[in-house]
């Protein structure tokens, strides 16, 4: 049997970006595919919104994020998930360190609302960047499933 692949989606506040990511992933990845989509929220509202969009499992808070990033193969979320004290303080330094230092492939959705500006021409919409992130996930899965 092939190794199970864990995709962790991390979001906070209302979980809107995470909800969109999970919904788009679920449309492309069937439940019986050997891929687990895990919703990790900085708060319960974010987690619940991602679960409603199709995540297989979910957990909330610092300890859940710190522990689950260690077993994740891919982590998706807004760029703020690697910035300590972002998301109005919901993303703790321990969470940012766990995400940025784990071995998972990190796919970050560019947003300039966390005090980080990307030195590039970012004229697309958030939805465009989420779609590009989903394409990167599918490339990863095509290379790593059934190995």
Query: Quick check: is 19 in a domain?
Result: yes
Query: Long-range contacts made by residues 55-59, C-beta under 8 angstroms, separation at least 24?
Result: 55/9, 55/22, 55/26, 56/31
Overall pTM surpassing 0.85 (yes/no) = yes
- Beta strand spans in the chain (E): 5-11, 35-41, 57-60, 74-78, 105-109
For 59-113, write each residue's pLDDT tens digit: 999 999 999 999 999 999 999 999 999 998 999 999 999 999 999 999 999 876 6
Asked if residue 45 belongs to a domain, the reply is yes
| Residue range(s) defining the domain that contains residue 12 | 5-142
CATH number for the domain spanning 36: value is: 3.40.50.720
Tokens in use for 99? 């995400």
Q: How many CB atoms lie under 10 A from the CB of residue 23?
A: 17
In a domain, 147, yes or no: no
């Amino acid at each position: 049997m092939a190794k199970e692949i864990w995709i962790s989606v991390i979001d906070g506040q209302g979980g809107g970006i995470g909800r969109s990511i999970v919904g788009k992933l679920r449309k492309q990845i069937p439940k019986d595919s050997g891929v687990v989509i895990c919703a990790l929220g900085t708060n319960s509202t974010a987690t619940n919104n991602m679960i409603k969009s199709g995540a297989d499992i979910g957990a909330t808070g610092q300890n859940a994020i710190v522990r689950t990033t260690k077993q994740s193969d891919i982590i998706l979320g807004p760029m703020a998930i690697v910035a300590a004290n972002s998301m109005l303080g919901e993303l703790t330094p321990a969470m940012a360190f766990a995400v940025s230092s784990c071995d998972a492939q990190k796919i970050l959705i560019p947003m300039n609302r966390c005090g980080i500006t990307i030195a590039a021409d970012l004229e697309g919409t958030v939805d465009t960047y989420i779609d590009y992130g989903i394409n990167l996930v599918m490339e990863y899965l095509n290379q790593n499933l059934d190995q």
